[in-house]
Amino acid sequence: MKRKFEKGSNDSLSEDITRKFESLQKEKEENDELKHAWIDELQSIARQKYPKASLVLIGSSANMFGFKASDCDLTLISGERFVYGLHALDNIEKLLPNSKYTTTLVHGAKVPILKIKDKENSLEADINSECERNIRHTYLVRCYALLDPRVQPLGIIVKLWAKNAGIINQRDHKLSGFTLLLLYIYYLQAGCSPPVVPLLQVDYPSLFSSSRQTSALIDQLKTKKLPDELKNFKSSNKQTLGELFVGFFRFYANFNWSSKVVSISRSNAYVSNNRPRMKIEDPYEMGGNCARGIYESLSFMQIKNAFTKALRKIEDSMDLDSVL
């Protein structure tokens, strides 16, 4: 029988976070089997043109920070030499029957995307081609999720808060889901004493090297286990979920966005483009700013104020519902 804690305490907040996380995970798991079967179906179609092709699930549906409604973000690894992104996606689009799929090939963006919607089950996918960095991002974030039992539950709740607060939407010059996770992981590294998690790319360079073959990462993503080298990691931080949740908002409500650079991969980081209001370094692109789209004052202030508002509410009530 679970122990009931007094409402408005750190312990009750921790209990609420755990309960909400478990509910969201149950919803997600109900849809996972359908989603994976659908990806296998798309991969079979892709192999009609590229027999060695793989469709690798990336992003929130693969990094352990997704929801039931998370779309399928996929990277096409064609297995062919001299096959380029737009051309490969165009070939895949031609194979998809119009009777079942609605497709849109977006080729004006930095990375071409094939958008697919299945008319029968309402599943949607965004497919890019040969973007290995996205696979590395997914693998790195998922290792953090598995590293400590607090990381995934708290991260899911932080992401739910950000969605409800209206600060996740790259098209509106706000945060992407991935950028939010970089903020969250950085807090666990730099905003907690002692840290909850280390800088994996610093402490385990061979595991997370940009030169490591992506085929090894793809194989690892098919499991739900940590690499052997990380299995003995144990954090010396003993804070509860509730304490860490409050600390997350306190850390960013008082963060010096004008001078500090957020980087989960190294100390003394920098970004080459200082125009954006937030400086969040890409873990696999030295100097690259994942927050490069946040340059409008209004969008930046909405994000900044969301942290301040959430901190005030959670400190006043210690009630999870007050910020969700």
Say if residue 82 is in the same domain as residue 184. Answer: no
Counted domains in the chain = 2
If asked whether residues 109 and 168 sit together in one domain, one would say no
State percent of the chain over pLDDT 90. Answer: 86
Q: Round to whole Å and give the CA distance between 24 and 28.
A: 6
The verdict on whether omega for the bond into residue 51 sits within 30 degrees of 0, i.e. cis, is no
Lowest mean pLDDT among 2-16, 141-155, 227-241, 251-265: 2-16
Query: What pLDDT, on the 0 to 100 scale, is given for residue 4?
Result: 52
pLDDT at 274: 78
pLDDT greater than 60 at residue 14: yes
> What is the pLDDT at residue 224?
83
For the chain, what percentages of helix, strand and coil (3-state, to nearest 5) are there? 50, 15, 40
What pLDDT does residue 108 have?
A: 73
| Mean pLDDT of the residues in the chain | 94
Which regions of 178-277 does DSSP assign to beta strands (E)?
A: none
The answer to the question of residue 10 being in a domain is no
- Same domain for 154 and 109: no
Segment 192-218 mean pLDDT = 96
Residue 139, in any domain of the structure: no
Q: What are phi and psi for residue 282, nearest 5 degrees?
A: -70, 130
Q: What is the mean pLDDT of residues 262-276?
A: 91
Based on the fold, state whether residues 163 and 310 are members of the same structural domain: yes
Q: What is the CATH number of the domain that holds 181?
A: 1.10.1410.10
Shared domain check, 288 and 200 = yes
Q: What is the CATH number of the domain that holds 79?
A: 3.30.460.10
Q: Which residues contact 273 (CB under 8 A, 6 or more apart)?
A: 289, 292
**What is the reported pLDDT for 30?**
85
Return the sign of the alpha-carbon dihedral for residues 176, 177, 178, 181.
positive
Cα angle value 93/85/219 (rounded, 5°) = 95
Mean pLDDT over residues 46-51, rounded?
96
pLDDT score, position 122 = 85
CA-to-CA distance for 59 and 70, rounded, in angstroms? 9
pLDDT in tens, 143-169: 999 999 999 999 999 999 999 999 999
pLDDT of residue 124: 94
Report the candidate in 66, 75, 60, 73 with the shortest Cα–Cα distance to residue 29. 66
The answer to whether residue 130 scores a pLDDT higher than 80 is yes
pLDDT of residue 275: 87
Is the domain of 32 the same as that of 156? no
Same-domain check for residues 121 and 237: no
Residues 48 and 79 in one domain: yes
Share of the chain above pLDDT 70, in %: 98
Please say which residue of 132, 159, 186 terminates a domain.
132
Specify whether 155 is located in the same domain as 290.
yes
Q: Are residues 61 and 161 in the same domain?
A: no
Mean pLDDT on 234-256? 98
Is 16 a domain residue? no
**pLDDT computed for residue 208 by the predictor:** 97
Inform me whether the pLDDT recorded for 229 exceeds 70. Answer: yes
Q: Identify which of 126, 70, 117 has the alpha carbon closest to the alpha carbon of residue 98.
A: 117
| pLDDT for res 71 | 84
In a domain, 140, yes or no: no
The whole-angstrom separation of Cα 119 and Cα 140 is: 33
Rounded average pLDDT over 222-236:
94
First to last CA, the chain: 27
For 39-60, what is the mean pLDDT? 96
pLDDT-based confidence at residue 1 (cuts at 50, 70, 90): very low
34 alpha-carbon distance from chain centroid: 21
Q: What is the predicted pLDDT for the residue at 170?
A: 87
Q: Which amino acid is at 38?
A: W
Q: How far is CA 124 from CA 103, 237, 310, in A?
A: 10, 39, 32
* Pair (225, 250) in one structural domain: yes
Element (H, E) at 190: helix 177-190
pTM of the predicted model as reported, rounded to 2 decimal places: 0.95
| Tally of CB atoms within 10 A around 7 | 12
> Is position 137 within any domain?
no
Containing domain of residue 61, as a range?
27-132
Instruction: Give the pLDDT confidence of 53-81 residue by residue, as tens digits.
Output: 999 999 999 999 999 988 899 999 998 88
Query: Within a domain: residue 19?
Result: no
Q: What is the mean pLDDT of residues 220-248?
A: 96
d(CA 175, CA 291): 7
* Any domain includes 243: yes
